[in-house]
Amino acid sequence: MSGQGSSYFVTLVAVSVGLLVLFVLATTLGGPGPAPTLRRLAATGWIWLYLAIFFIPIAIGVYYWLMLREEEVVVTDEGIARHSRWGDEWLRWDEVRAYNRQPILFRQTRLGRISGLSRFFVRGARLLDLPPVCYELVGAEDRNGIPRVLRFEPGTIEEMPWLLQIIEEHVGPPVDV
């Protein structure tokens, strides 16, 4: 399974195109048209504002695509591994001590508030399925006595429902924390 970077990119490009269409419609229907309006904006120096409104969502989409393009979760009969920009994690199924489900605010995720857009990516999902939740697989302790935790947050994994189903087959249903 891969990350959702391309989904963020496509969504934010669609936002930019939507803003461009609104601009063209507003100037065509209620004014002299896009060309005279663009000339007037360029002459007054306000063109930069409209360019920023159009290009900022695209730049944000590129940033999240670059961040999540290496995100990958590999599930095998022996365990589960996650490769991401935050580091590689691995947990064997027989080492899993707990499988937790807990509510989380979007701003508390690794991605931040933009992970709220992920609600639009899941096929058949309810948009108002609140609160968002993260899932944690808690494993054995490392050398320092800290349990190893594999955390799956909203907005990072493309096929989250399928992944959760596979995890439940191996360790049972999650416990609400």
150: left (phi > 0), else alpha (psi -120 to 50), else beta? Answer: beta
Q: What are the pLDDT digits (tens) for 100-152?
A: 999 887 777 767 767 666 666 555 454 445 578 889 999 999 899 999 999 88
Contact, 147 vs 91, CB < 8 A? no
pLDDT score of 128: 47
Q: Which residues contact 38 (CB under 8 A, 6 or more apart)?
A: 47
* Strand segments (E) across the chain: 72-75, 79-84, 87-92, 98-103, 133-141, 147-152, 175-176
Helix boundaries (H) for 45-141: 47-68
Closest among 24, 99, 13 to 62, alpha carbons compared: 13
pTM here? 0.69
Domains in the chain: boundaries: 5-68, 73-176
CATH fold, domain 73-176, is PH-domain like (2.30.29)
Q: What are the pLDDT digits (tens) for 22-76?
A: 888 887 787 787 888 888 888 888 888 888 999 999 998 898 888 888 888 899 9
